[in-house]
Amino acid sequence: MQRILFGNHPTQMPAIAHHIDHARYEASFAPIDAVDVARFDLVVPLRVEQIAAARPAQVLGRSVLPRPDLVTLCDDKLALNLWLIAHGFADTVPALLGNRPDTFPYIRKTRRGDYGMGCRMISAADEDDGSEDPTLFRQRAVEGRFEYVLHLLRIGGAIRFQVAYRYDMGQPLGVRGQVDRPSAIEPADPGPALATCTAILDALDYEGTCCFNYKLEDGALRILELNPRFGGSLVGVVTDYVAAHLAAL
């Protein structure tokens, strides 16, 4: 039986423990920097801040992780948007706005953060103080009740695993996270979005696990963020993900 070490995450740990095939894999959960990663066949960080601690596992061939510079880039939503614009993917980026936009609605975002934390939908001028806080930026809101997530594992320049889901937010301007929860989640066919997201990973020379969050606007791809980590909705197919990751090592 192969041994899998997952990092700590309060909600993902019990879900992974429930869904993983215990006949095939022995799953453990612990602070990655507190255990001997050589004891495990695969090490999977669940948070961005756990990736650095998992680097020794990559050296031992027990995990494939994105380069540190790419973790930093993708974890900074504004920096990623600027990279996409500069590298031929500008049509996937909702327009970036100044500190005091005069068109509504728009979304005020924190450059870093998960689960919608620090993000706020702005519908009128008196809802935003125009702060020049460098940790914030503003971007045109993409309307639509459906938000998508595409999980990808790229190793050796090839996609080794993929799965996509559609979230029904029940409203056109929901901010998925702690405040706005989806009313339904269902598997989705990424369609043409897969080719574009794969091309972005190719251009980045990205290796490891990631998830794209996006919307479709009149059929056009609008990327909301690219997370350089294991995404929460992977837990339901964690056995397939683990099998693909192990097979690619």
How do residues 25-84 score in pLDDT, each as one tens digit?
999 999 999 999 999 999 999 999 999 999 999 999 999 999 999 999 999 999 999 999
Structure tokens at 130: 């125009």
Residue 52 DSSP symbol: G
Number of other residues whose CB lies within 10 A of the CB of residue 159: 15
Whether residues 170 and 222 fall in one domain: yes
In a domain, 48, yes or no: yes
In a domain, 168, yes or no: yes
Number of other residues whose CB lies within 10 A of the CB of residue 113: 15
Whether residues 86 and 179 fall in one domain: yes
In a domain, 126, yes or no: no
> Do 28 and 4 contact (CB within 8 A), yes or no?
yes
Whether residues 168 and 200 fall in one domain: yes
How do residues 126-174 score in pLDDT, each as one tens digit?
888 888 889 999 999 999 899 999 999 999 999 999 999 999 988 777 7
In a domain, 247, yes or no: no
Q: Does an H or E element contain 56, and which?
A: helix 55-59
In a domain, 16, yes or no: yes
pTM summary value: 0.94
Pairwise CA distance, residues 151 & 213, whole Å? 9
**Number of domains within the chain:** 2
Bridge partners of residue 42, in order along the sequence: 4
Domain that residue 220 falls in: 68-93+142-227
